[in-house]
Amino acid sequence: MEPAAAALPFDLWDSVLSASLERNPQEARLRAAWQSEHASSEKLSKICLANHYNFVMMRDTMSRTPRFVRVGGLLPLIACACFMFPAANHSALAQAVTEQPIVVTGEEVPSAYGAPPGLSRSRFSNTTQAYVLPPWAFFFGEIYEGQGFRHGPPDHLFTQEIEMGLPYRFGVAAEAKFERFNGGGGAETVSLEARWALADWNKIPLNPTLFAEYKFGVGTIRHEEVPPPPGGGEEEEEGGPPKVPDAYEFRLLLAQEFGGRFEWAMNWFFEKENTGDRGREWGFSQSVMTPIFLPNERLKVGLEMEYKNVTTKDTRGDPLNSFVIGPTVAWKPTAQTRLDISPLFGCTDDSPIADVFVVFSWLFGGERAEAEAPVSTRFRYYSDVAYARSGKDSGKEMKQVAYVPPCPQWYGDREWNVNLWGTYAFTNTEFAPNPSLVDIVQSTSEGNPVLGTYDRYIGGDHAWGGGGDIKYFFCRYAGLGVEGFALDAHKPGFDIFEDQAVPIFVHRRINHNHTVGAVLGTLTLRYPIPCTRFAPYAWAGVGAIFGGGERDTLHTQGPPDAFAVNAQTEHFGSETKVLGQFGAGLEFRIARHFGWTNDLSFGVIDGPKNNFGMFRSGLNFAF
């Protein structure tokens, strides 16, 4: 009977089964109950995984082994066999699905060791800094500070800063500061900085970070922070204003986020000059900011303040107390750039009337750094899968994984570079010629001419210009090239003629406008940081400089009296000298064949008071 039954067509089996159930209502009820239980046993679960930008949907199937219903005869056994296969198939499918890795992709959120993005930019506000940068991220800032005083002209400070984040919560930076005061100006200091955060974000309350800075004085003092004490003070150094002394500074940086809405930072600082009047400065600055209106924290407003206690070796008991406070606004035109404006107002007699800051900053790099979601969405995900045979629940942990794109190559092993740049040259002397021509005659007749402290080759204390260079990198890290530049220089002079026989005394000031040019052969060493657009570089070159060195010499004959001698000026034209130059900088590749360079160099010319520094910024074309 079984072979005959097996040979029946499927439609006939269906009709026979239906007829059997109609004859036996009890079996029909049991079958309906079993189908209902089987349908409820297939459960669809959806887990929504929130990761700042993406949602991950996962489906698993939970099934139970159906209970077999014995209705007698061969027909119920065959029917049960037909339903067992899909049940077993669903159970295997559920296990296979949950064993697949889950990958969450999303745009990287800049974060340093778990810190909020706003506290991962090195400079939190115009007067405060906070925490550290992510590893291999770079911060570039252009800082303007304008101080208006109760008496005297305003002081304008321009600072250029670049900082690099390193692993293990370290960071290094360099700064160059320029000053414009009372019609004169030039470089003031060049600084090297380092910082280290004690732990990852929120591991220690207030997230303390240690900061150290050393400042090299490269210019002259144009504006004294502390006026000399009544009835005295240091005499001005012979030959012009005193040089800016070297100094060191230590800071303790504190920062915290409160309620996921307010960000706060505070700096305690101490600075000490090594020479000169040995100025000492300590104080604190703090800021609090919160985002408003625009999405993604593109606009922030807040309040910031700064207190400084300043003394010199002659005024230790009578310090200058300065306290300024005011609003601050930070606007991000793009995800990587930010503009900060802070008009601060003085609250003490020693404070400036207004201290205005404007800072444009750019955070970039760290393309291979680990992506982190915002703090509010960093959590782990779990799914529960019920296994058909064991009947037990087992939790499977799934960790969030960020997609890391392939590492691009921005620098070639062999390539030509054509670099065009603008430059600002600054000398190590003050643009301060002797204002009295009669005094020049008098001092020369006495054998000690007092001409002033201006530079002897370029002439003034600064000059603007431009240049370019062509380099061939015969390997990834080294290249040879030729460099040339021109500077628009100005040098003060005089024309004096005095003859007691006539008598005649003619004296007038003149200005030597000249172009200083140079051509050098260079060797450049660079290190393209892997998987970033950045390449620090250093170079040195030797060549010739021409077009400068004009000078005026006064010859006198007679007694040491400005109005009783014969005097005549001798003019000397430009001269060519040997120039040695060395420097270091950083290149950022905007595209594979197009980059932006910034560097600082020093030129050494034969002879006293001839050396100069040069800051360059330009575009580099690689092919």
**pTM of the predicted structure, to 2 decimals:** 0.55
Q: Report CA torsion sign: 527, 528, 531, 534.
A: positive
Q: Does one domain contain both 482 and 348?
A: no
Same-domain pairing of 466 and 614:
yes
Closest CA to 112 of 89, 92, 137: 137
pLDDT at 200 over 50: yes
What pLDDT, on a 0 to 100 scale, did the predictor assign at position 398? 45
Q: How far apart are CA 343 and CA 622, in angstroms?
A: 42
Mean pLDDT, range 147-170, rounded to an integer: 90
Helix, strand or coil for residue 93?
helix
Query: In terms of domains, do 85 and 186 share one?
Result: no
Least confident of 262-271, 289-298, 361-370, 529-538: 361-370
pLDDT at 31: 57
> Which band of pLDDT confidence, cut at 50, 70 and 90, is reported for residue 15?
low
Confirm if 71 and 24 have CB atoms less than 8 A apart.
Answer: yes
User: Residue 382: its pLDDT value, please?
Assistant: 34
Q: Tell me, yes or no, whether 82 and 141 share the same domain.
A: no
Please work out, in degrees rounded to the nearest 5, the angle formed at the alpha carbon of residue 336 by the alpha carbons of 332 and 337: 50
- Answer yes or no: are the C-beta atoms of 367 and 352 closer than 8 Å: no
Residue 535 CA to residue 547 CA, distance in Å, equals: 34
pLDDT digits (tens, 9 = 90+) for 68-80: 334 344 434 444 4
CA pair distance 308, 131, nearest whole angstrom: 22
Q: How confident is the model at residue 619 (pLDDT cuts 50, 70, 90)?
A: very high
Side chain identity, residue 33? A
Tell me, yes or no, whether 124 and 252 share the same domain: yes
Look-up: residue for tokens 């993604």?
296
Is 357 found in the same domain as 258?
yes
**Is 256 in a helix, a strand, or coil?**
strand
Q: Are residues 440 and 333 in the same domain?
A: no
| pLDDT exceeds cutoff 90 at 486 | yes
- Name the token pair of 245: 């002394």
* 95 and 127 belong to one structural domain: no
Q: For residue 407, is it within any domain?
A: no
Per residue in 237-275, pLDDT tens? 444 568 889 999 999 999 999 988 899 999 999 999 998
In a domain, 455, yes or no: yes
Please count the structural domains in the chain.
3
CA–CA separation, 157 and 177 (whole Å) = 7
Using the Cα atoms of residue 463, residue 469, residue 475 and residue 478 in order, give the sign of their dihedral.
negative
526 and 605 assigned to the same domain: yes
> For residues 27 and 20, what is the distance between their CA atoms, to the nearest angstrom?
9
The residue ranking higher by pLDDT, 364 or 325, is: 325
Summarize pLDDT for 185-199 with one digit per residue, the tens: 788 899 999 999 999
In whole angstroms, give the CA distance from residue 524 to residue 519: 16
pLDDT at 375: 38
Residue 188 in contact with residue 219, Cβ under 8 Å?
A: yes
Report yes or no on 50 lying in a domain. Answer: yes
Kindly state the average pLDDT of the residues 507-511. Answer: 79
* For residue 566, pLDDT beyond 60: yes
Helix (H/G/I), strand (E/B), else coil: 33: helix
Reported as a single tens digit per residue, the pLDDT across 575-607 is 899 999 999 999 999 988 999 999 999 898 877
Asked whether residue 100 falls in the same domain as residue 178, the answer is: no
Say if residue 318 is in the same domain as residue 380.
Answer: no
**Lookup: tokens for 306:** 């700064």
| CA-based nearest residue to 478, from 410, 411, 533 | 411
Average pLDDT, the chain: 77
CATH number for 319: 2.40.160.40
Residue 446 lies in a domain: yes
Neighbours of 329 (CB within 10 A): 16
Asked whether residue 234 is assigned to any structural domain, the reply reads no
Tokens of 558: 């007679």
H or E element, residue 163: strand 155-166
For residue 458, the enclosing domain spans: 415-622
More confident: 17 or 499: 499
Tell whether the model's pLDDT for residue 550 goes beyond 90.
no
Whole-number CA gyration radius for the chain: 39
134 found inside a domain: yes
- Let me know if residue 321 belongs to a domain: yes
pLDDT in tens, 411-434: 999 999 999 999 999 886 666 666
Is there a single domain that holds both residue 530 and residue 427?
yes
Q: Which residue has the higher pLDDT, 160 or 48?
A: 160
pLDDT (0 to 100) of residue 61: 36
H-run or E-run covering 390: none
Q: Does residue 5 lie within any of the structural domains?
A: no
- What was the pLDDT predicted at 403? 53
User: What's the CATH number where 533 sits?
Assistant: 2.40.160.20
The confidence score (pLDDT) of residue 41 equals 46
